A and B are shown apart, each in its own frame.
Chain A
Amino acid sequence: MRLTVNGLARDIDADPEMPLLWALRDVLGLTGTKFGCGVAACGACTVHIDGEAVRACQVPLGEVWGEVTTIEGLGTDGSLSILQAAWVAQQAAQCGYCQPGQIMQAAALLAVVPDPTDDDIDAAMAGNLCRCGTYPRIRAAIRQAAADLREAG
């Protein structure tokens, strides 16, 4: 089947029942999206489908309804997005395993709410767990990114 992933059309030869996460990581080699729990309870596998944050471990390939964006589509090591740059500036990550999912969830929030309050952030990010406990720095990074994005217009 054919999916659009990070703006590119990709042909994927796999079972339509295969979770999108498996296809991204093992078929397409896009390993920035992480496997955490496998039951949509942690948020590590968060990607966008048509801009909406979804758990890639729970979306079968055959049911993908739109364009997929992964953390690789947001920015690269040499060219960070404003959101990722804010994450670096706030030194948000410790082990970093949940952070691609956190960042994708935050990107979906900021696309809808350009100036989120702490309550908005907490509500939007509640499904993304971080065992290192970096929540205060994640919140600071989102607030900084919101300001930077508004400034960038």
Chain B
Amino acid sequence: MGRARRITRRAFLVATAAVAGGVGFGVWKAREVPANPLAPDAGVSLNPWLIVDGGGVTVVVPRAEMGQGVRTTLAALVAEELDADFAAIRVIHGPPAQAYFNGALMEAGLPMPNFALSDRQRWIGAQMAALPKVLSLQVTGGSTSTVDAFEKMRLAGATARETFKLAAAARAGADTAQLATENGAVLMPDGTRLTYVELAADAARIEPPEVMLRDPGQWRLLGRALPRTDMAEKVTGSATRRWRCRGWSG
């Protein structure tokens, strides 16, 4: 996984931003980082996919749950890199926002199966990813949810994890290299645990660092069957269905 990447608190830097043949304004619009639409009443949001408040870690999964398990898979992408306690994680759909554009739509729209795409065709798809971004297309469909989220939501988790480590290091006068993370907390060199909840306010004031994504060999959640985060609400009938939406209330 080698390339260092960064996402800012306000959002996410798209790797392939230029619109082929676009004029300056188009390129600027495509490169512009979408704002973080989250402004929680309590707690902090380090990026569009994460809220940390007194209740713990909440992940925004901005795709429709239709039984494909997206509220579990996408939450796991964040939790994997964040070292959050997956069993305790809460998942919300979040508001409609440009930050949640589906960058995998265009590749999915090319008239051949994904596995048959040439490098050139993939490149075209990647360039065209600017289109759903500029148009704020927050679409669920075409088996694109995980493809779109695979890097961005892991980056959201990894960036937050490293920001929490910076906050913990600053508090204890330690070096981040001495720190580890586990189950929603930073482990200090002396063995004490500083939870993400405790560190959230400090972390919100820190410029997020560049991060490396973990090698798949280190994954603990991804690639394994996980209990669905929405199972209880589906067996009590309380899961919100799309025709019952009453506006976003966090």
Contact = CB atoms under 8 A, between A and B. Distances in A.
- Do A and B interact with each other, yes or no? yes
A91 B227 CA distance: 7
A19 interface: no
A76 B236 contact: yes
Given A93-B228, A96-B67, A31 B235 contact: no
A94 B236 contact: no
Nearest to A90: B231
Given A34-B237, A91-B227, A97-B241, A77 B232 contact: yes
A132 B67 contact: yes
A33 interface: yes
A118 interface: no
Contact of B239 (A76, A87, A96, A132): A96
Contacts of B69: 94
Interface in B57-104: 65-69
A103 interface: yes
Question: Chain A, interface size: which category?
Answer: 20 to 34
A88 B230 contact: no
Interface string B132-144: 0000000000000
Q: Which 7 A-B pairs have the closest CB atoms?
A: A32-B237, A95-B67, A96-B234, A94-B67, A100-B237, A71-B237, A93-B234
Interface in A57-100: 70-72, 74-77, 80, 84, 87-88, 91-97, 99-100
Interface in B214-250: 227-228, 230-239, 241, 244
Contacts of B238: 32, 76-77
B236 A77 contact: yes
Central interface residue in B237, B238, B241, by most chain A CB within 10 Å: B237
Contacts of B65: 95
